[in-house]
Structures are given as structure tokens and as C-alpha cells.
Structure 1
Amino acid sequence: MSARAIFHLFLHAAVPAVLAWMFWRKRFMSAWVLMLLGWIIDLDHLLADPIYAPNRCSIGFHPLHTAPAIAVYAGLCVPKKTRLFGIGLIIHIVLDAIDCWWMHAGR
């Protein structure tokens, strides 16, 4: 696994942790876990062949990484009951988009 891939996975855990610490410190652990649940959308990778391709951009390729799905994730950020999960999904998509940019920039 490349250093970029390892760093990308690290960010998927670290960014929600930092946000949970900054904004939901009194309930840090539950906020962090709810945002980490955003990783659930990577189940759509199981539909691809191969399941993991290190230089494949997830955005627009996998069904749960498409514009209609992202619109649903944004909607989940509105109700208080689903807000942290929605934020976790949006963080996941943003980090995947950054990874796509890194791939295309040759980093």
C-alpha cells in the first residue's frame, strides 16, 4: 500500500476526530463514532472488479460516491438526529475527492 493510500486512510479517522474534539468535546467518542460510520459507503467497492484499485478515483465510479448519493448525504446533515452521520459521509466524500485530485496531480 502506498504512502498516499495510508495517509488517505489516516485522514478518514483523523478529520472526524479533530472535528468531534473541536465541536462536540463533551460527547467526543459518540460524535467521532457517528462520523466514522461514513465509511459505510465504501461497501460499494465490493461491487467493483477489482474491489480495490489503488489508482481508481471513487468519485463518480462507485454508486455511493455519485452526485445523487452526495445530495442525500448533504440532506442528512440537516436533521439533528442524522447530522453527525451526514457530516461523516460528507467528510468521506471530500477526502475521497482530495485523493482523486492527488492521483491526477501525480502525487
Structure 2
Amino acid sequence: MLQHAVHYAFHFLVIGIIAYIFDKKNWKKYYLVLLATMLIDVDHLWAKPIFDPDRCSINFHTFHTYIAAAIYLVFLLIIKNKVLKVFFFGLLFHLFTDAIDCLWSNSWELSVLL
């Protein structure tokens, strides 16, 4: 129960804090951009079963792979547009949140990181 609360707090509340820190004046705009990064989860739709509480998303779903993360990082570093920069940061933060969930549920071993 606590794991799910933390997971969704990161996906919905923490990104609000991040948006506010990024731009106090336009934080709502950036919050919406960060919320849009939830669309990354569309790749869950072609998994069988669509939802498996014991499955780790990292390196299983297409947009949750290490290769995808590397692409998001490259775009984050090279793009100058603030909105797109926040979007790619949000994709990486989404993966970070999912990785925490994987570690918490023990469906992903720490040795995978090394």
C-alpha cells in the first residue's frame, strides 16, 4: 500500500514540485508537460498481460528500456527549447520513479544497475 502511494506521489505530486522549482511563474504549464510524460505508459498496452503487478517496467516495455533512456538523455542535453527539455527530463524522471518501484518490489535486483 505504501509502495503504491509513493509511486503515484512521485508520478503526480513530486512533478508538481519539480515544475514549481523549474519556473515558479509558469509552473502549471510545466506541470502539464510533466504530466504528458505519462503517455510513455502507452507501451503497457501491447504487453501480455497489460498489467502485471509483479513485473518491472524497466527494460521490459519498449519506452522503458535503457536504450530509450539514453535517447531521452541525449535529447535532454542537446535540445534548447525549455518545454521539450522539461518533457525529456520528465521521461527520465518517470523511468526513475518506475525503477524505484522495481527495487521496492524486489522484481529488479540492484545488480542490474551495476
Shared fold (TM-score, shorter chain, > 0.5): yes
3-state DSSP of counterpart to 1:59: coil
Distance in 1 separating the partners of 2:2 and 2:103 = 15
- Partner in structure 2 of residue 90 of structure 1: 92
Distance 1:37 1:83 in 2: 13
What is the one-letter code of the residue matched to 1:61? F
Unaligned runs of 5+ in 1: none
Indicate yes or no: 2:39 matched with 1:56: no
The equivalent residue for 2:32 is: 33
Structure 2: stretches of 5+ with no match in the other structure: 108-114
Letter in 2 for 1:85: F
Give 2:74's aligned residue.
75
Aligned equivalents of 1:84, 1:13: Cα separation in 2: 15
**How big is the shift at 1:47?**
0.8
Task: Give the root-mean-square deviation of aligned CA atoms.
Answer: 1.5
AA aligned opposite 1:88: G
Alignment length, in residue pairs?
A: 104
Once the two structures are TM-superposed, the CA of residue 11 in structure 1 deviates from its matched residue by 1.4
C-alpha distance in 1, partners of 2:20/2:28? 9
1:103 equivalent among 102, 105, 110: 105
**CA shift for structure 1 position 27:** 0.5
- Give the letter aligned to residue 33 of structure 2: L
Deviation at 1:54, TM superposition (A): 1.0
Residue by residue, what CA displacement relative to the aligned partner does 1:2-27 show, whole Å, maximum 9, x if unpaired?
A: 44224312210112101111121110
With normalisation by structure 2, the TM-score equals 0.84
Q: Which amino acid aligns with 1:74?
A: L
Cα shift at 1:102: 0.2
Measured in 1, the distance between the counterparts of 2:100 and 2:44 equals 18
Q: Which is bigger in relative contact order (C-alpha 8 A, separation at least 6)?
A: 1
Report the Cα distance in structure 2 between the residues aligned to 1:100 and 1:77, rounded to whole angstroms. Answer: 24
